[in-house]
Amino acid sequence: MLADSDETKTARRALGRRLAQLRRAAGHTQHDLARLVQYGRSSVANTETGHQHPDRSFWARCDIVLETGGVLVSEYDRITERDHRRRRSSALQEFETASGPATPTDTGHACAEVDDGAVLWECEGRIDARRLALKSSTDDNVRLTYLENEVLEAIADNERLTPGILMGRLRPLRAYIDQLMAGRQHPPQRARLYAVAAHLSGLLGALALDLGAFTVAHAYAAESFDLAEAADQPDVQAWARATQSLVAFYAGDYHDALAYAQDGLRRGGTSVHRIRLTINGLARSLARLGDRYGVDRAVDDAFTMLSDYPAGSPVSASLALGPYCPARTAANAATAYLALGRTAGVTNHLTVAIDAFDTAGLAGPRALSRLDLATAHLHADRPDPEQAATLAMEALTLTADQRFESVHQRARQFLAAAHPFASQPQLRHVADLLADRTQIDTTARPALPSLS
C-alpha cells in the first residue's frame, strides 16, 4: 500500500487542527466530544494532532455534534478523493512498469484501468463510502427505535410522574433529535425522525401546559404540528392538532381549540385520534362556546367511535398514540356537559371514570373527575355543598405534590360555582388550600423561561 504523501499528511493535520478549533469554540473538552461521538478520548486527541486518521463516520458525527454544517466531512472527502487520485496514478505507473497493462486478476487499492481506459474495479474509497452509508443506515434505525421507545415510555409516564421530572428527562432527547436532523438519513428514516420529533415536542408542550407556561406550550405544540407536516403522516398531524387543541383550550382560546380539533379530524380521516379530537377537542370547546347541539352531536359521535376499537388497557394515556378509552371519553363528556350547566347523566359518566382512574392510580385524572363530580353536586336539584367540598379537597390532596394547571383551573371553576354556598366552612377550606398552592406555584414559576 502506498504511504501517505507529505501533502496528504499536511492536509490531515490541518483538518485535525480545525476540529480542535471547532471543539473549543463549542465549549467541549476532548473528553466531552469523545463521549458525544462515541469514540475514545485518545482517538480525539490523536486526530487533532494528526497522528490518527479516523474514517468518514467519525467526521460526520463531529459535524452533527458541533453543528458545523458538514464542513469537516466535506474536507475529509476532499482530502480522501485527492489522495485516491494520487494513489491511482501511482498504481497505474507501477502496473505499467512491472507487467504492462493490468488484467482482471490484478489486485490493488486504487482504481485499475487497462490501456483503453476501461475500469476493472472501483476505488476502495467508493466501496468504503457505500459500506459506511449502509452502516449509517443501520445505526440510524437503532437510534430511531431508541427514540420511539423513549417517547412511548414518557407518554405512559405522563400523569404518573411530575411534569418537572418528565420535562427534565425529555429535553436532552429533543437536543439529540436536533443532532440527528443535521445529518442525512434515507427518506423512510427521515420520516420516522420527524414523526418522533413531533410526538416529543407535543409531549413537551403538554408538560409546559401542566406547569402553567402557556407561551412555551403554544410554541412546542406548534412545532409538533410543523414536524408532523414534514413527516407527511396524516395520523401524526391529527395527534399534533389534538395537542394544539388541548393547549388552546386551557389557554382560554376556545375558537382556536375548536379550529385545531376540526382540522385534525379533516387531516386524520379514520385515524385512531378521532375520538380524542371529537370528545377532548370538539365537545369541550363547543361547550365553552355555548353550542348545546354541537356538544350532543360530538359526544354521541365519540361514544359511537369507541365501538370501532376493541377494548385495550382500562385507561389510555392522555396523549395516547392509540384511541381514547371509555373512561377518558366519559370524563370529557361530563366536563363538556357541566360547562353547559347540565347535570343529567354526568354522575354516571364520572362514576365510570373515577373507578377507572383510581384503579390506574393517575393523580391528574382522579383529581379532575372529582372536581367535576363536586361541581355536579352543587348543580343538583338538591345541592350537597358538604359532599362537594369533600370531593374538592380530595382532588387537591391527590395532586398536592404535582403541578397541574388543568386541576387548578377546574378548582377555580368549582369555587365559582360554589359561590352561593360560600358560608360553608368546608368550602372556605378548599379556597384556602387552592390559594396556598397557587402562591407556592407563583414563587416557583420564574424558572420556567429556561424551557424556551
Task: Retrieve residue 210's grid coordinates.
Answer: 401542566
Q: How many CA atoms lie within 13 A of 165 on its CB side?
A: 10
Rounded to an integer, the average pLDDT of 215-243 is: 95
pLDDT at 129 over 50: yes
pLDDT at 122: 67
pLDDT at 180: 84
C-alpha span between 96 and 154 (Å, rounded): 65
- 105 Cβ partners below 8 Å, 6+ apart? none
Rounded to an integer, the average pLDDT of 12-25 is: 92
Rounded to an integer, the average pLDDT of 336-344 is: 88
pLDDT at 447: 33
pLDDT at 99: 45
Q: What is the pLDDT of residues 53-107, one digit of tens each?
A: 888 889 988 998 898 888 898 899 888 888 777 766 665 555 445 444 444 444 4
pLDDT at 311: 67
Percent of the chain predicted with pLDDT > 70: 83
pLDDT at 55: 87
Rounded to an integer, the average pLDDT of 12-40 is: 91
pLDDT at 174: 87
Q: How confident is the model at residue 240 (pLDDT cuts 50, 70, 90)?
A: very high
pLDDT at 335 over 90: yes
Higher pLDDT, 441 or 395: 395
Rounded to an integer, the average pLDDT of 430-448 is: 56
CB 283 within 8 A of CB 336: yes
- 123 Cβ partners below 8 Å, 6+ apart? 84, 88, 110, 111
First-to-last CA distance in the chain? Answer: 54
Backbone angles phi, psi at 53, to 5 degrees: -125, 85
C-alpha span between 313 and 329 (Å, rounded): 14
Q: How confident is the model at residue 189 (pLDDT cuts 50, 70, 90)?
A: confident
CB 352 within 8 A of CB 369: no
- What are the angstrom distances between the C-alpha of 115 and each of 111, 118, 138, 139? 13, 8, 40, 42
CB 264 within 8 A of CB 242: yes
Residue closest to 239 by CA, chosen among 247, 249, 228, 231: 228
Residue closest to 287 by CA, chosen among 333, 242, 319: 333
pLDDT at 396: 87
Query: Does an H or E element contain 232, and which?
Result: none
Query: Does an H or E element contain 121, and which?
Result: strand 119-121
Which range (255-259, 397-401, 417-421) has the least confidence? 397-401
Looking at the DSSP bridge assignments, the partners of residue 119 are 113
C-alpha span between 295 and 283 (Å, rounded): 5
Instruction: Write down the pTM of the prediction.
Output: 0.67
Q: What is the pLDDT of residues 270-309, one digit of tens each?
A: 899 999 999 999 999 999 999 999 999 999 999 999 988 8
Amino acid in position 220 = Y
Query: Does an H or E element contain 112, and which?
Result: strand 112-113
pLDDT at 452: 27
Higher pLDDT, 373 or 435: 373
Percent of the chain predicted with pLDDT > 90: 39
pLDDT at 194: 94
* Orientation of helix 405-417 relative to helix 234-250, angle to 10°: 40
Rounded to an integer, the average pLDDT of 174-188 is: 83
C-alpha span between 315 and 278 (Å, rounded): 18
Q: How confident is the model at residue 3 (pLDDT cuts 50, 70, 90)?
A: low
- What are the angstrom distances between the C-alpha of 207 and each of 154, 170, 319, 402, 405? 11, 10, 11, 12, 10
Q: What is the pLDDT of residues 324-333, one digit of tens each?
A: 999 999 999 9
